[in-house]
């Protein structure tokens, strides 16, 4: 099977943010589960930056982690603007990172390498080419990120999340590309609405009204919080609201909503952060208002949730706006871009809250484009790349 008989060796690289880290984690768990069926243990090593989210996640998940020196390229619209002291200093670290990566790959002897992007993936990806180890690059977003663009040229297979990515790839890369979807954490797919009611004490919600779940991501989003607080009395006459506002904004949201009439306040629950309860809250929600990062999009479509998306304006390559527009074109979401006013939010959300038929149609359109089996598809690609390398 490999240099270590009856053991499969997976080297993971990628991280910096949750968007790169969690799909890799979900995939390696799916690979372990798949190979456990045949009694094959999986040995995993994750190469990343010591400061990245991947270092924290691997520690809490009990995964072996090894740091790699890497330089982050700070982009500028003018190429000369990229010649900065920090960029030059960071680029000088890339050869060091490649040297470290080369010794990591040579020593670990992976059967296959999975790269999920982020600048940390570049040294390992280069080392994979130098040492002729199969490299599978996975891209979460519609357009390839900078790191994955560099690595796609030398990858064995390029796994993409959306069919529309295929048209954007150069001809030489396209023939090695496969649409897998973006892996969604298994627990997100098995939430139970009643558990959310128990866990969050939602007995005061009106069972005859739909449930709106609002989130700005783990940190919260001031833009979304403002839109909601300006629309609250109007919203609460039409729906129950679970609002994850971010830990830093919780006190302010409490103060803003203290004056709500008691009958409306009973239908509003504001929280700083949602952890283990998130899958149950998503199961309970009839409509979701959120940002449109790649991970969010893959969860909403896998679950078939109607949504109103408010893209983060500053995302790399305007990726979130691109995601939101694509779902809107498919009839799977509504996109609110640019300088969004509370009236825009009400206009988008209102018809969804008042019309269950409209919600169902949007849910169906979302589900058609969801890929709940993305992790399993990506495991297929990894195993196939490993097999063809040994053949």
What's the pLDDT tens digit per position in 55-86?
999 999 999 999 998 765 544 455 555 555 55
Confidence of residue 88 (pLDDT cuts 50, 70, 90): low
137 backbone dihedrals φ, ψ, rounded to 5°: -100, 130
Task: Report d(CA 114, CA 138) in Å as an integer.
Answer: 7
Encode pLDDT of 322-350 as tens digits.
Answer: 899 999 999 999 999 989 999 999 999 99
The answer on pLDDT for 304 being more than 60 is yes
114 backbone dihedrals φ, ψ, rounded to 5°: -110, 120
**CA triple 36-39-41, angle to 5 deg:** 65
Q: Could you tell me if 193 and 303 are in contact, meaning their C-beta atoms sit under 8 angstroms apart?
A: no
Between strands 287-290 and 211-215, the pairing is: parallel
pLDDT score, position 340: 94
β-bridge mates for residue 113, sequence order: 11, 135
Higher pLDDT pick, 40 / 76: 40
Question: End-to-end alpha-carbon separation of the chain, Å?
Answer: 11
pLDDT score, position 76: 47
Quickly tell me which residue has 């706006």 as its tokens.
321
Task: Report d(CA 155, CA 36) in Å as an integer.
Answer: 27
pLDDT score, position 273: 87
Average pLDDT over residues 355-378: 97
| Maximum pairwise Cα distance, the chain | 70
CATH H-level, domain 8-184+372-390: superfamily: Glycogen Phosphorylase B; (3.40.50.2000)
Nearest to 135 by CA among 101, 186, 183: 101
The answer on pLDDT for 293 being more than 80 is yes
Q: Considering the chain, tell me which residue range(s) the CATH 3.40.50.2000 domain(s) occupy.
A: 8-184+372-390, 186-368
> What is the average pLDDT score of the chain?
90
- CATH code assigned to 186-368: 3.40.50.2000
CA atoms within a 13 Å half-sphere pointing along the CA-CB vector of 211: 23
pLDDT score, position 218: 65
CA torsion sign for 215, 219, 225, 226 is: negative
Average pLDDT over residues 198-205: 96
Average pLDDT over residues 181-203: 95
Task: Report d(CA 235, CA 228) in Å as an integer.
Answer: 8
The answer on pLDDT for 8 being more than 80 is yes
């Amino acid at each position: 099977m490999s240099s270590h008989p009856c053991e499969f060796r997976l080297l993971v690289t990628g991280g910096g943010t949750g968007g790169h880290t969690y799909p890799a984690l979900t995939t390696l768990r799916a690979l372990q589960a798949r190979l456990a069926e045949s009694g094959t243990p999986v040995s995993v090593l994750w190469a990343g930056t010591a400061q990245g989210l991947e270092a924290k996640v691997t520690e809490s998940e009990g995964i072996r982690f090894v740091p790699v020196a890497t330089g982050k390229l700070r982009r500028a619209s003018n190429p000369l603007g990229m010649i900065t002291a920090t960029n030059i200093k960071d680029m000088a670290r890339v050869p060091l990172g490649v040297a470290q990566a080369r010794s990591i790959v040579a020593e670990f002897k992976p059967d296959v390498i999975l790269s999920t992007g982020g600048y940390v993936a570049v040294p390992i990806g280069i080392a994979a080419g130098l040492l002729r180890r199969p490299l599978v690059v996975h891209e979460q977003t519609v357009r390839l990120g900078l790191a994955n663009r560099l690595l796609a040229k030398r990858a064995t297979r390029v796994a993409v999340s959306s069919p529309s990515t295929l048209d954007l790839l150069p001809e030489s890369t396209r023939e090695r590309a496969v649409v897998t979807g973006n892996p969604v954490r298994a627990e997100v797919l098995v939430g139970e609405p009643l558990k959310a009611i128990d866990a969050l004490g939602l007995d005061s919600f009106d069972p005859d009204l739909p449930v709106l779940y609002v989130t700005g991501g783990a940190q919260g989003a001031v833009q979304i919080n403002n839109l909601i607080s300006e629309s609250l009395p109007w919203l609460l006459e039409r729906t129950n609201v679970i609002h994850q506002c971010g830990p830093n904004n919780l006190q302010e949201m409490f103060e803003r909503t203290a004056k709500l009439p008691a009958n409306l306040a009973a239908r509003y629950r504001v929280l700083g952060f949602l952890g283990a309860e998130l899958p149950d809250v998503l199961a309970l929600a009839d409509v979701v208002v959120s940002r449109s990062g790649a991970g969010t999009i893959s969860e909403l479509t896998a679950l078939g949730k109607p949504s109103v998306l408010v893209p983060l304006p500053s995302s790399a390559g305007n990726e979130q706006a691109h995601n939101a527009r694509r779902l809107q074109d498919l009839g799977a979401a509504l996109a609110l871009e640019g300088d969004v006013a509370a009236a825009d939010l009400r206009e988008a959300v209102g018809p969804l809250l008042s019309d269950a038929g409209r919600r169902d149609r949007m849910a169906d359109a979302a589900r058609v484009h969801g890929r709940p089996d993305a992790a399993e598809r990506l495991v297929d690609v990894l195993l196939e790349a490993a097999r063809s390398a040994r053949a």
